[in-house]
Amino acid sequence: MGTRPAELRALLDSVARQDGAAVRTVVVGNGAPVPELPEGVESVELPENLGIPGGRNVGIEAFGPGGRDVDILLFLDDDGHLPDAGVAEAVREAFAADPRLGIISFRIADPDTGVTQRRHVPRLRASDPLRSSRVTTFLGGANAVRTEVFAQVGGLPDDFFYAHEETDLAWRALDAGWQIDYRADLVMHHPTTAPSRHTHYHRMVARNRVWLARRNLPLPLIPVYLGVWMLLTLLRRPSWTALKAWFGGFAEGWRTPAGSRRPMRWRTVWRLTRLGRPPVI
């Protein structure tokens, strides 16, 4: 967004320090001017904010159509950095060792406390963030994706703008037979934040949850999935302002087009269930 030039420079420096072959780097200015960058770092400036998935899709195309000029794409938020110089090599080794591995989700930790927030562990059993595992989704701010995944299932859903775009891609990738790993040893430092402090967060989360279900789930599971999430939202007892925004987004999700519908196969539903997160929660 162009508001964190010092943090962006720290991130780029951490990428430049990675062991092994140099990492080709592109910075996307999502509706904001790109600050001065180190030599060799490329940039794309967008005239308007396309949202997180839209901006990342533009970044993908900077590496050729569908990112085909490279084998792996890393997505890193501009206010984080990689404390370990071995991350890029570990990512290369992981993809080389498993041809069906499509996505790697990094562990996000606070740089001062080392704490990983529960919401940053992409599985239901999140009490031990130091345990790596196969998962059913991934973290948008720190991940690596094999470009074959984009070639096979398409990019992130532009219209989501913010929230659940990673799960939409993850479900499509899993349905196509790819694997997703959460790697606790691949760390990105990122300050602890609470996105729920913004009212628009609740609207976007609810709207996109409906779109996610309408696009990807078999018809019998849609009311179950959305009913469970409505119940969980009420049990969390958000403020009246937040709840009003949530129900407004929920209604918007039904009123507006959700995009192409490609329901996952029932064997993918079973696969998600075996991985510990059936697509009803």
Torsion sign over Cα 264, 265, 270, 274 = negative
Here the tokens at position 50 are 């396309």
Question: Residue 3's pLDDT is what?
Answer: 83
204 has pLDDT over 70: yes
Name the band, by pLDDT with cuts 50, 70 and 90, for residue 105. Answer: very high
Query: 3-state DSSP helix/strand/coil percent for the chain, to nearest 5?
Result: 45, 15, 40
**What's the rounded Cα separation, in Å, for the pair 197 and 237?**
14
Helix, strand, or coil here: 77?
A: coil
Segment 233-280, tens digit of pLDDT: 999 999 999 999 999 999 999 999 999 999 999 999 999 999 999 999
Tokens standing for 225? 């999935």
Q: Is 179 exposed, middle or buried (0-12, 13-18, 19+ CB in 10 A)?
A: middle
| Token output for 190 | 């990122």
State the pLDDT confidence band at 96, using cuts at 50, 70 and 90: very high
Upper half-sphere CA count for residue 58 (Cβ side, 13 Å) = 19
CA 140 to CA 76: how far, in whole Å? 8
Q: What value does the mean pLDDT of the chain take?
A: 95
147-187 tens-digit pLDDT: 999 999 999 999 999 999 999 999 999 999 999 999 999 99
Whole-prediction pTM: 0.96
Whether 192 contacts 112, CB under 8 Å: no
Cα dist. 4→29, 41, 72, 119 in Å?
11, 17, 26, 23
Two tokens, residue 258: 């959700």
Mean of pLDDT values over 80-100: 98
* pLDDT given at position 198: 64
pLDDT surpassing 90 at residue 199:
no
Looking at residue 140, its pLDDT comes to: 95
Average pLDDT over residues 32-58: 96
